[in-house]
Structure 1
Amino acid sequence: MPINARLRDALPLPGGNALVNGFAFESRAGGARRALLRNGHELEVFDLDGLFAGERAPGAVLPLPWPGWGGGVHSMSPDGSFAVFSGQRAVRAVGAGGETLWEYRHGCWGPELGHPHSGDEQEVCRGSEHGSCRVSDDGRLVWAHVMTGEGEDDWQECWVVLDAADGRELARLPLDSVTSGSHHVSHPDGIHMGLSIGMGQDGILLYWARWDGERLTSWDLNETMDRILIDVHPGHAGFLTVDHYGADLELHALDGDVLAVAEPEADEFGDRPCWDYGCGFVDADTVIATVPDEDEFPLLAGHRLLDARTLKERGRLSYPAGTPATGPVLPLGDGTWLTYDDGTGTLNRWSAPSGTP
């Protein structure tokens, strides 16, 4: 059944593609929603609700600590007083005025073990491998995926918990990963943190953890999974993953148990496309999922709405003529979702008609 999407807002936002096809969006348990967009040698931080209310200027503009470094997933504190940057050889906290607050040094993400460094902190070693970081929703902790060691004998990837006030390491979890890149997903309960690690053709690793002030408790879900952590239900009813190759979506309890599964619709020959990685919870009742626009399945491409608890399809979204809305989406959890038109540089916000089943 087709569902007619309703255009709620549209605004020009250069670089806004990183919101729907990257990790530039950050939401908080308290309701803050931000876009963290790189613009040259600066990170521009926008309040998403302010953008749609007409506030076009960024709320903060921070110099990138390492302008030549294009990797890492960065994070802003809930109150906007500082940002934390995931670098190639350090995690650095920077105040809203651009001043360095602290730095946590770690091993180099460059793929050659034991390769030399010139001593210049702006040096960028070859390779696209990177970690990520996330400030906790109470602003007290920084979770960071880092490399430790430099040589073959002491090389190790770790998930560390840092004190947000001074960068002091509070806990460390060694990881069995060889990373291409990673990202964090904060649970809306404000307690648990998820980490999804991509290893290219070698698969995906997924972890959940919590820090109670004295002890780090973690859940390694990788014996039964090769799945990307996508989103968490706004009502704490589970988390959503997509298969490494897009074969299906799964809804899980926090311990990893599978609650529901959805495969893309098959074509007339029984062949199935893959889900794209742009999906998530539109609200507590609805998931949006995407079949990418590929030559093999042109008639099946587009966005679907699914029931958030069963993952059964409710219908395929139809967009107004003249307003392209293909490719990845960013669901906001409030009944709306974002798409980005690369041709015009426009960020669009959509909703389904009221009363959609």
Structure 2
Amino acid sequence: MHRIDLHDLYATNSRHIPHPDGQSIALCLGSDPDDITIIWGSWDGREANTRRAETEPGIILCDISPAGNEYVALTPSTDVLTRYRSADDSPIIEIDYEALTTHPDADDPNDLPVWDQMCSYIDGDTIIASTSDLDDQWGRHRHWTLHSAEPSVPVEIAYPVPVTGVPTALGDGTWIARSDAEPNRVHLWARRMP
């Protein structure tokens, strides 16, 4: 359909996330953690347009909200998760890893986890994230929700069975995750409404 020259950008890794408007896509491009760039691209049927996100270099794009009005990204060290406005790339809120709690089986109470490299929108108000990479050393993996009503307070999800790995939100109020009890099966989860 169309090709766009990204000039000085090259990538050994890239992540493509479609925008809910059906005409745009976000590309997260980079060859090293310090030079990752987010590119927004759109196609109106005749003309392609691109723009670089006005974020600091190295930001890792994770997901776009179902309404398309915001997106979530991580720093290269995955210690800060940030929600951004899509229109101007301005930060809405940053959630530092220090807001997380130490794993209950950790020997050192100051041994805080960092975010995994993937997080996504359960719905327009809630992000799901995980700390499975570092939790793995203690066995039980943990997933967290971040709700816009209390955006700086990660809430650990209390699953009825142990889960493993990174969850994937579906944007409709549900997400999928694997269970330790049944490693070859993917489970569909939904938030319990009050």
Distance 1:271 1:172 in 2: 45
Distance 1:313 1:299 in 2: 24
Q: Which has the higher contact order (CA 8 A, sep 6+)?
A: 1
Question: Structure 1 residues 257, 282: CA separation in 2 closer, same or farther (over 3 Å shift)?
Answer: same
Indicate yes or no: 2:87 matched with 1:249.
no
> Which position in structure 2 is the counterpart of 1:195?
27
Percent pairwise identity? 26
Indicate yes or no: 2:64 matched with 1:232.
yes
> Which position in structure 2 is the counterpart of 1:148?
none
Q: Write out aligned runs for 1:1-357 (5 A).
A: 162=1, 170-221=2-53, 224-254=56-86, 255-264=88-97, 265=100, 267=102, 270=110, 272-294=112-134, 298=138, 301-308=141-148, 311-313=151-153, 315-320=155-160, 323-341=161-179, 344-355=183-194
Distance 2:68 2:49 in 1: 19
Question: Structure 1 residues 244, 233: CA separation in 2 closer, same or farther (over 3 Å shift)?
Answer: same
Distance 1:280 1:318 in 2: 18
Q: Tell me which moved more, 294-303 or 179-188.
A: 294-303
Question: Structure 1 residues 218, 354: CA separation in 2 closer, same or farther (over 3 Å shift)?
Answer: same
Secondary structure at 1:195's aligned position in 2? strand
Q: Which TM-score applies when normalising by structure 2?
A: 0.81
* Residue 177 of structure 1, CA deviation: 3.0
Give deviations 1:309-357, integer Å, cap 9, x for gaps: 763225211111xx331220100111111012476310111112112xx
> Which position in structure 2 is the counterpart of 1:34?
none
Number of residues paired by the alignment?
185
Q: Tell me which moved more, 244-253 or 192-201.
A: 192-201
Distance 1:316 1:295 in 2: 13
Larger Rg: 1
- Runs of 4+ in structure 1 deviating by more than 3 angstroms, as ranges, are 200-203, 266-272, 295-301, 341-344
**Letter aligned with residue 163 of structure 2:** A
Secondary structure at 2:17's aligned position in 1? strand
Distance 2:137 2:151 in 1: 21
> Which position in structure 1 is the counterpart of 2:105?
none
Secondary structure at 1:313's aligned position in 2? coil
Aligned-residue CA RMSD in angstroms? 2.7
Q: Which TM-score applies when normalising by structure 1?
A: 0.46
* Residue 227 of structure 1, CA deviation: 1.4
Distance 1:269 1:176 in 2: 45
Distance 1:232 1:309 in 2: 18
Give deviations 1:154-196, integer Å, cap 9, x for gaps: xxxxxxxx2xxxxxxx341324234222121111112221001
**Letter aligned with residue 352 of structure 1:** R
Distance 2:135 2:154 in 1: 25
Q: Is the 8 A contact 1:193 1:208 kept in 2?
A: yes
Question: Structure 1 residues 309, 195: CA separation in 2 closer, same or farther (over 3 Å shift)?
Answer: farther
